[in-house]
Amino acid sequence: MASLTGGTRSRPIRVLRSILFSEYLVLYLTLLYVAAIWPFVPEILSPPNLEDIFLQLLPLFIAAIGLMLVLMVAQIDLSATSIMAMACVVGASIMTTQGGYLADSAWAPVVAVAAFILVGLAIGALNGICTAYFGMPSFLVTLTTMMFFSGSAIWYTATHTDSGSSIGSLPDGFLDLGYGGVFGIPYAAIVTLVIAVSAHLALSRSVFGRWLFAVGLNPRAAAISGVPVKRVIVWAFVLSGLCSAIAAIIYTGRLEAGTPILGQRILLDVIGAAVIGGVSLFGGSGKVTGVFFGVLFLSVVDNGLQLLGLSLSSVYAIKGGVILFAAVTDAVRHRVLARG
């Protein structure tokens, strides 16, 4: 009788555990959300709106993949949006037709894209070196670089344009990266797919991927096993900076101007998408598919709330609550796993 009662009581717990640890939990929640909101805003499933959601989530997905790599080694990167802003204005200053360094040159878009990437790599390397080799907390390092490069982007813009707010008149060859495409497939989608597949293969089939998991789970044990812990941490930040720079290229192409406030409002989305997608804040876990589900969920929630006509402050409050819930869920998962 006792065993029967124990088995009956444990069944709901087993079901709850299976749902909590399901790889597709966030996808189920997304579908549930759409089903719940559809009677009030049926246009959420209209083809133009679905296309808009798809295009908006692409650069966010790229940035979230970069953050995932940092979270996997039990660190945090708050500088993603400042990297976007700095890379944006530097790249725009090179190719703008109004007094750019390579104004009206056929090579301007190519050099500008290279500048985007170099800025991302440089700031990412700075974050990684300070964290890994100087022993500074990544929260403090990236918070400082976020503030410094956000301010630097504003100063840089002011010195390169009369308006001081943005650098416009970008060449058409670059603007195509925002909304252009080939055979009906957006360039942004192609770039995103390449990055997502590369990240998935790196995590599942490469030595570097195994090192990321090992460092996140137990850096001391990883070091004893011969894993170059400091180098792995630096490369995680470098790749995060690279992903932020690529996301900035897409955003800039869509805005058709370089602005120092690029990405200012999406830091919460970048972090939240990774956490909601199952990337542990404690390190050692993360999947590209999970991050995609997280980005999709936040994008759909944001779109649905805007269709409902809610104010921006209400949208932020609800999204913040969702992300907080995801963080608490991650903490619960971590404790459950620790107890076995």
* pLDDT tens for each residue of 119-135: 999 999 999 999 999 99
Give dist(CA 148, CA 65) in Å, integer.
23
121 compared with 314, residue with greater pLDDT: 121
Count Cβ atoms within 10 A of the Cβ of residue 66 and give its class: 0-12 exposed, 13-18 middle, 19 or more buried: buried
Given a cut of 60, is residue 163 above it in pLDDT? yes
What pLDDT shows up at residue 286? Answer: 87
Strand partners, 186: 181
What pLDDT shows up at residue 20? Answer: 63
Give dist(CA 232, CA 216) in Å, integer.
10
Q: What angle do helix axes 229-255 and 108-132 make, rounded to 10 degrees? A: 150
What pLDDT shows up at residue 1? Answer: 47
Q: DSSP states of 36-97 as a string?
A: HHTTT-GGGGSHHHHHHHHHHHHHHHHHHHHHHHHHHTT-----HHHHHHHHHHHHHHHH-T
Given a cut of 80, is residue 2 above it in pLDDT? no
25-339 adopts what CATH topology?
ABC transporter involved in vitamin B12 uptake, BtuC (1.10.3470)
Reduce the DSSP state of residue 186 to 3 states and report it.
strand
* pLDDT tens for each residue of 304-313: 988 988 888 8
Pair 263, 85: CB distance under 8 Å: yes
Give dist(CA 252, CA 249) in Å, integer.
5
* pLDDT tens for each residue of 167-202: 988 999 899 888 888 988 999 999 999 999 999 999
Q: Which of 60, 73, 109 is nearest to 244 (CA)?
A: 60
* pLDDT tens for each residue of 52-111: 999 999 999 999 999 999 999 999 999 999 999 999 999 999 999 888 899 888 899 999
Given a cut of 80, is residue 326 above it in pLDDT? no
* pLDDT tens for each residue of 227-238: 999 999 999 999
Q: DSSP states of 254-292 as a string?
A: HHTSB-TTTTTT-HHHHHHHHHHTT--TTSS---HHHHH
What pLDDT shows up at residue 96? Answer: 92
Taking the model in full, what pTM does it have?
A: 0.91
Given a cut of 70, is residue 146 above it in pLDDT? yes
Element housing 328 (H / E) = helix 312-339
Q: How are beta strands 181-182 and 185-186 bridged, if at all?
A: antiparallel
Element housing 182 (H / E) = strand 181-182
Give percent above pLDDT 70 in the chain. 92
What pLDDT shows up at residue 206? Answer: 95
Count Cβ atoms within 10 A of the Cβ of residue 153 and give its class: 0-12 exposed, 13-18 middle, 19 or more buried: buried
